[in-house]
């Protein structure tokens, strides 16, 4: 059996009881190590807690070396550990499909992820639209396909969760071209960099999916002991020091409920000013009032 087991967001003990029982009986245990990190637990701490040796599965192993993970999974129990929930990344869906194509039984053990824990910032989960990912821009690569999704969410009044890029065990283009297995230091996108990229693309697009004055909430180290939230406009958060990773951002939708706003005000430097910005944003993309048809119609 191949088990995909969610670890939760931060601590070694965030794994479910059922998940821990399964890990302890598995012959091999892999930890996916490129879509996210467990903020309050190291590999050594996890191995001590589980009583098992852990193999770190980087991007190369997960995307091109799946056969090693699947090896003998039809004869023995193998665990694939994922920070958050197993289906938080499309790569893991591919792993399940590949396993089932090879007639390997698969079982999923779910856990908390940013997709549901984001509600702790005070915004109601059923008011969220499409989630987008913000990647690091380079000199010649500045993707903006996420922009239209934010526009669509904003058009119908829904909040947008923006997941910020992380780079773990990545190679430079030069080292990759020369075949040198030299890896760059880990990088984690900050709230400020995300907001700067948002503003850059809006300036180029000029479609007003959002503006510098659009309200947002910065989320830092969700689920960790140092979890923090910060409410402000995109422009204000472009100057915000969000501290240690991991980070994510929520761009507010037009339909911000009064209870959501009340919760967000406790994270604002100037609550009254933030309240005014949200009130102004309520008019953004607001549908035209309904008018009864005339005789001509």
Summarize the annotated binding site as residue ranges.
9, 85, 88, 113-114, 164, 222, 247
Residue among 219, 231, 220, 233 nearest 281 (CA): 233
Q: Where are the alpha helices (DSSP H) in the chain?
A: 17-25, 43-50, 59-64, 66-70, 90-101, 114-117, 146-155, 173-177, 191-205, 234-237, 258-265, 271-281
Q: How far apart are CA 167 and CA 156, in angstroms?
A: 33
User: Following DSSP, what letter does each residue of 63-87 receive, concatenated?
Assistant: HH-HHHHHTTTTTS-EEEEESB-GG
Would you list which residues are annotated within the binding site for S-adenosyl-L-methionine? 9, 85, 88, 113-114, 164, 222, 247
| Radius of gyration of the chain from its Cα atoms, rounded to whole angstroms | 22
Task: Name the burial class of residue 69, with classes exposed (0-12), middle (13-18) and buried (19+) by CB atoms within 10 angstroms of its CB.
Answer: buried
Q: How many residues does the chain have?
A: 297
Q: How far apart are CA 147 and CA 152, in angstroms?
A: 9
Parallel, antiparallel or unpaired: strands 215-220 and 247-251: antiparallel
The pair of structure tokens assigned to 44 is: 């050594």
DSSP-derived 3-state class of residue 229 = strand
CB 112 within 8 A of CB 223: yes
Parallel, antiparallel or unpaired: strands 28-32 and 78-82: parallel
> For residue 285, what is the DSSP state?
T
The pair of structure tokens assigned to 114 is: 């940013």
């Amino acid at each position: 059996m191949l088990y995909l087991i969610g670890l939760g967001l931060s601590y070694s003990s965030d794994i479910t009881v059922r998940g821990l029982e399964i890990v302890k009986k598995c012959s091999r245990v892999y930890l996916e190590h490129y879509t996210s990190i467990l903020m309050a637990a190291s590999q050594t701490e996890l191995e001590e807690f589980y009583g098992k040796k852990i193999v770190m599965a980087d991007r190369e192993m997960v995307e091109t070396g799946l056969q090693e993970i699947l090896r003998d999974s039809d004869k023995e129990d193998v665990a694939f550990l994922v920070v958050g929930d197993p289906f938080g990344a499309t790569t893991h869906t591919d792993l399940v499909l590949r396993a089932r194509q090879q007639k390997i039984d698969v079982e999923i053990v779910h856990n908390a992820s940013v997709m549901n824990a984001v509600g702790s910032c005070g915004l109601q989960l059923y008011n969220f639209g499409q989630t987008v990912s913000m990647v690091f821009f380079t000199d010649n690569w500045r993707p903006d396909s996420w922009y239209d999704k934010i526009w669509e969410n904003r058009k119908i009044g829904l909040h947008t969760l923006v997941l910020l890029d992380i780079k773990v065990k990545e190679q430079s283009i030069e080292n990759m071209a020369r075949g040198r297995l030299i890896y760059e230091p880990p990088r984690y996108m900050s709230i400020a960099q995300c907001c700067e990229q948002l503003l850059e693309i809006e300036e180029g697009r000029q479609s007003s999916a959002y503006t510098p004055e659009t309200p947002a909430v910065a989320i830092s180290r969700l689920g960790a002991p140092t979890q923090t939230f910060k409410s402000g406009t995109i422009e204000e958060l472009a100057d915000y020091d969000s501290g240690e990773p991991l980070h994510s951002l929520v761009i507010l939708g037009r339909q911000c409920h009064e209870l959501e706003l009340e919760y967000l005000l406790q994270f604002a430097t100037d609550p009254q000013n933030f309240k005014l910005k949200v009130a102004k944003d309520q008019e953004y993309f607001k549908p035209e009032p309904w008018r009864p048809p005339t005789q001509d119609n």
